[in-house]
Amino acid sequence: MAHHEVERFSAGARLFHWTVTITAIVLAITGLFLWVPAFGSLAEDSYSRIIHRVAAVILVAAPLLFFISRPGRALHFVKYIFTWGKDDIEWLKAAPDYYFGGDEKKMPPQGEMNTGQKLWSLVAFLSVIGFVVSGAIMWFAKASIPAELFLWVTIIHDLCFIVSASMTLVHLYLGAIHPRMTESLKSMLKGKVSVEYAKHHHGKWYAEISKGKETDNKQAPSTH
Ligand code: HEM
């Protein structure tokens, strides 16, 4: 059992993650009522449309609040997910074998997010932008744009859903179920991982935060 732990996600980051998750689930359910013809009767009352719009406002407000409260952290996240290098290519090559039980030593050491997590973050980030821009056009500009353009905007909204919902399932599996990600869900609930887990899963990050300290230092600084 691990006695020494390091912080991986601050309380603010966890609150933000679960707020976005609940909002995304509400948006997906109420969106499906509007999208799938067989559920059409459920969207006839206007409640699901109103709830969809309220949730959309939260999806915009939550990142804005996070940005206002922790601008440095938010910018660091955006910069991180857009920075790709040789290690990421190496990770992508090694990952299939690793996730199907292969030798962990073949995996290149990872930063605070591994390449898969970075890819997911990028997809989530771009999908939210796609949802918000296309959703805002549908909400506010329906009457003022040509019908054909409106149709294209709905298709973009739908494509964002198809991509992000499929990736959310992969994210859920890797974050909460995969047998190698033993402390992943715990870290998003309680904020911390054991030093052992940090060394194995985020070797480069652990080396950075423990620089100049003893390897098993309980007080390794927070990075989130
Ligand atoms: C469906 C339920 C979800 C579960 C159970 C879940 C679980 C998790 C867990 C355990 C982590 C930490 C992974 C790690 O670093 O070890 C995480 C991180 C993250 N989650 Fe989720 N999540 C869910 C939904 C979402 C949704 C809907 C979004 C965005 C729209 C999202 C975006 C992220 C991002 C950007 C990260 C940081 C990158 C990463 O570590 O993968 N998550 N999530």
pLDDT in tens, the chain (224 residues): 446 999 999 999 999 999 999 999 999 999 998 888 777 776 666 788 899 999 999 999 999 999 999 999 999 999 999 999 999 999 999 999 999 999 988 999 899 999 999 999 999 999 999 999 999 999 999 999 999 999 999 999 999 999 999 999 999 999 999 999 999 999 999 999 999 999 999 999 999 999 866 544 443 443 33
Give the number of other CB atoms < 10 A from CB of residue 142.
11
CATH topology of domain 5-209: Fumarate Reductase Cytochrome B subunit (1.20.950)
How far apart are the C-alpha atoms of 191 and 222, rounded to whole Å?
A: 10
Distance 141 CA to ligand 1 centre (A): 32
Closest CA to 6 of 181, 151, 173, 209: 209
Distance 117 CA to ligand 1 centre (A): 8
Pocket of ligand 1 (CB under 6 A): 17, 20-21, 24, 113, 117, 120-121, 124, 168, 171-172, 175-176, 184-185, 187-188
Token pair 């915009």 is found at: 60
Residue owning the nearest CA to atom 3 of ligand 1: 172
